[in-house]
Structure 1
């Protein structure tokens, strides 16, 4: 047998092996396959935590609107509360940032920009900040003097001004108007402004009408997502920081793609290298001892990673877990080593909810792990 023929046979065998592995995976078509888990004490414990008696008068306590668990590509648990159901497109708040990162990942795979590109190359209003690169924005490390305070501190809040008052007509321009108070890339500072500058940059890269449809053509349609709504500001820029809406089952599709390193079935929607970047801790992140359970920032995603000797933010979850997180308890958790995706929509207002506690109970219920 010739060496060339042996190589061809080896390649054929590898292709067949890859094909058989793909066939063994479960992917949703028009809808998810449902394999509801049998009742158990562990599921009861999960529900007791996620769905306690709901206090709509004071909005206190853990207030889950939706909880969906995907295991091995199938729905194994699903429950809704209040007016929400499986068809409800829920406001994702800052999960939008991670969704837009995946949209950007498609553009990155098409060669439309590089992480080292100066932001001003793609978004001219950023010309006063020539040292800020696209990768800095993705790590929330632009160096902009930005205050990400919410309803409890509205007077000094950059994000409240951007979303609701003087910055709302052109949110990226409002963010670009801030001065730098740190060297770009040297310090993590969570910023919805950084995310909206990324959106405006993609708008300039793509141009209209491509930009208008791009989240759908690049990401949502390949994944079979039907419920997505994404608001734009008055300048026509998607509010990448905050205003995407999806139902829980559609959001889980993004989680399943991320679980498989950007692949959907046989199609590589987002480059695996981009997902690896999303899941790499920001190199200059310094944990805050006063926030020991705060997840570690990656590329517009949050990681259950140990950095600088700090403990895992979610000690009862695997260390490969990562998430898209949003205001008032919105969450898309991806646990690759457990073949699990968990979606939670919520209306938490008082800080009682714990990501770690929910994940611990979900793992006990659906992965057989001891709580």
Structure 2
């Protein structure tokens, strides 16, 4: 095409500007590009909070194992502590739920299910609960009688029984044995059981052979993730509630995928509508002060029903994958930030808002310019 014609086409359509923007984006290949932020009082304040003197005997206080910050597709900060290194796959705990949501997002884009489908359509063991839809499970709104307590009430805890005692051989079947307590879709109750039933539904969609490799073929391999391990129960279902392991840099790839609305390079790996669903608050949620707002197996910072933002010093668009003992993957779209935190917090000293406030002071784009 002659240069003059090409320029006129650019001016007429704006497509050249889009192409230039896309080509300027930084994406990790085998490894991440780095542009480490210089030392500053703001970075020092962040480290003072995140990496306080570590008490491994009492396990009290803020106990960060890894802190990794990505800005605009580049590593700008990275530090490890305790037994964790850059090559240590760390237990994600309930961040695994958001990894399952991303995996199911690929299946959604392939046309394998609709949110309005009955769970029992894909997981026949759920036939006693015909009114529960897949969308209800994504919002932790199955209505099943479930108790998610851990250390505080282990003898009454549904999740402890599922993971460690009578439910551990077939976790989705254990969840299916619970009675309904509320109409599906009318009440939020956080439930690792809901997530593990989603895992079983994916199993039913795919069959044994494809399911065993699907998180890798659908999500991990396209993102260049090489460190992932995902445990299964004795029946071959991924323990999607709890038991994925990744190095921090690999988890950050999922964050960058979500920060860029499901796009990885030139490929729309997750439908944009799926990411929007992940970031949409559950309609029937009644806010709890200081608690993140449930979306589609992700956690949101949006003010809902007249309540304040859960993390007041972070942008409202901030969303996160969160896990037991302080695990967090924060995504801040407008600031082009992805923050991975692995941890071993045991006494609730750690506060999401505190770390986000300090990280924004140190690394927000306007600070760096």
TM-score band (shorter)? over 0.9
What secondary structure, in the 3-state scheme, does the structure 1 residue paired with 2:155 have?
A: helix
Q: Who is 1:174 aligned against? A: 174
Q: Distance in 2 between matches of 1:14 and 1:182?
A: 52
Q: Distance in 2 between matches of 1:369 and 1:12?
A: 32
Work out whether residues 332 and 341 of structure 1, in 8 Å CA contact, stay in contact via their aligned partners in 2. Answer: yes
Work out whether residues 262 and 271 of structure 2, in 8 Å CA contact, stay in contact via their aligned partners in 1. Answer: yes
Using the TM superposition, give the Cα deviation of residue 328 of structure 1 relative to its aligned residue in structure 2, in angstroms. Answer: 0.1
Q: For 1:354-365, list aligned pairs within 5 A.
A: 354-365=351-362
Superposed CA deviations along residues 25-63 of structure 1, whole A, max 9, x for unmatched, are 111111001111110000000000000000000000000
Q: Who is 1:158 aligned against? A: 158
Using the TM superposition, give the Cα deviation of residue 151 of structure 1 relative to its aligned residue in structure 2, in angstroms. Answer: 1.8
Work out whether residues 10 and 17 of structure 2, in 8 Å CA contact, stay in contact via their aligned partners in 1. Answer: no
Work out whether residues 175 and 194 of structure 2, in 8 Å CA contact, stay in contact via their aligned partners in 1. Answer: yes
Q: Structure 1 residue runs of 4+, over 2 Å off?
A: 8-18
Superposed CA deviations along residues 229-252 of structure 1, whole A, max 9, x for unmatched, are 000000000000000000000000
Q: Distance in 2 between matches of 1:167 and 1:11?
A: 62
Q: Who is 1:133 aligned against? A: 133
Normalization by structure 1: what TM-score? 0.95
Aligned residues: 362
What secondary structure, in the 3-state scheme, does the structure 2 residue paired with 1:111 have?
A: coil
Give me the CA root mean square deviation.
1.6
Q: Distance in 2 between matches of 1:40 and 1:251?
A: 26
Q: Who is 2:238 aligned against? A: 238
Residue 44 of structure 2 corresponds to residue 47 of structure 1: no
Using the TM superposition, give the Cα deviation of residue 366 of structure 1 relative to its aligned residue in structure 2, in angstroms. Answer: 0.6
Residue 291 of structure 2 corresponds to residue 294 of structure 1: yes
Q: Who is 2:340 aligned against? A: 343
Normalization by structure 2: what TM-score? 0.96
Superposed CA deviations along residues 155-178 of structure 1, whole A, max 9, x for unmatched, are 000000000000000000000110
| Cα pair distance change 1:11/1:96, threshold 3 Å | farther
Q: Who is 1:320 aligned against? A: 317
Structure 1 unaligned runs (5+)?
A: none
Structure 2 unaligned runs (5+)?
A: none
Q: Who is 2:301 aligned against? A: 304
Using the TM superposition, give the Cα deviation of residue 14 of structure 1 relative to its aligned residue in structure 2, in angstroms. Answer: 4.0
Q: Distance in 1 between matches of 2:262 and 2:150?
A: 32
Q: Distance in 1 between matches of 2:22 and 2:292?
A: 32
